[in-house]
Amino acid sequence: MSNTIIVGMADYKIGRTPDKLMTAGLGSCIGVCIYDLHEGAAGLAHIMLPSSNGNHAGNPAKYADTCLEMMLEDLCKLGLRKSRLKAKMAGGAQMFSFKGRTPQLKIGERNAEAVERELKKHGIPLLAADVGGTFGRTINFDIKTGELHIRTINHGEKVI
């Protein structure tokens, strides 16, 4: 019987088939799944900010650089090989805009770029992404199939 593992904001979790990994409330945050279908294991991170800037105080799972590093370490401890890992991500919306002004901070876009940069650094191909827009997302990753189900308010559902 499958179990849905809930991942909170600024956190990550690891699961094995037949489990599913889920996170809700992705606005400017990025939900990134790193997985190996052959081994039937995956990790899902809910990343809030692009970089820790070397600040190791507080919660390292909040940042793209430190969170992905920790999650990859845990996946490798399960016996997964980096050379077989793949990734999918969603989120990175521009949730706030002000009329007549350029979007402030562009945090969603910066989060997406930071996650892509970290994946590239580790040699992990990003197979699919659903990022940007001005709406939040809830994602559910099926470890057995590698499908990332994305639910949005007023924008329907899709699978990548």
Per-residue pLDDT of the chain (160 residues; tens, 9 = 90+): 779 999 999 999 999 999 999 999 999 999 999 999 999 999 999 999 999 988 767 899 999 999 999 999 999 999 999 999 999 999 999 877 666 555 557 899 999 999 999 999 999 999 999 999 999 999 999 999 999 999 998 888 999 9
**Dist. CA 47–CA 126, nearest whole Å:** 16
Helix (H) or strand (E) segment spanning residue 59: none
Tokens of 16: 């094995």
Q: Which of 29, 33, 67, 76 is catalytic?
A: 29
Which residue from 41, 38, 36, 35 is spatially nearest to 15, judged by alpha carbons?
41
- pTM for the model: 0.93
Please write the tens of the pLDDT for every residue from 123-135: 999 999 999 999 9
Show the domain range for 150.
4-159
pLDDT in the model for residue 99: 60
**Number of structural domains in the chain:** 1
CATH code of 49's domain: 3.30.1330.200
Tell me, yes or no, if 76 is annotated catalytic: no
Coil/strand/helix, residue 76: helix
Coil/strand/helix, residue 49: strand
Helix (H) or strand (E) segment spanning residue 143: none
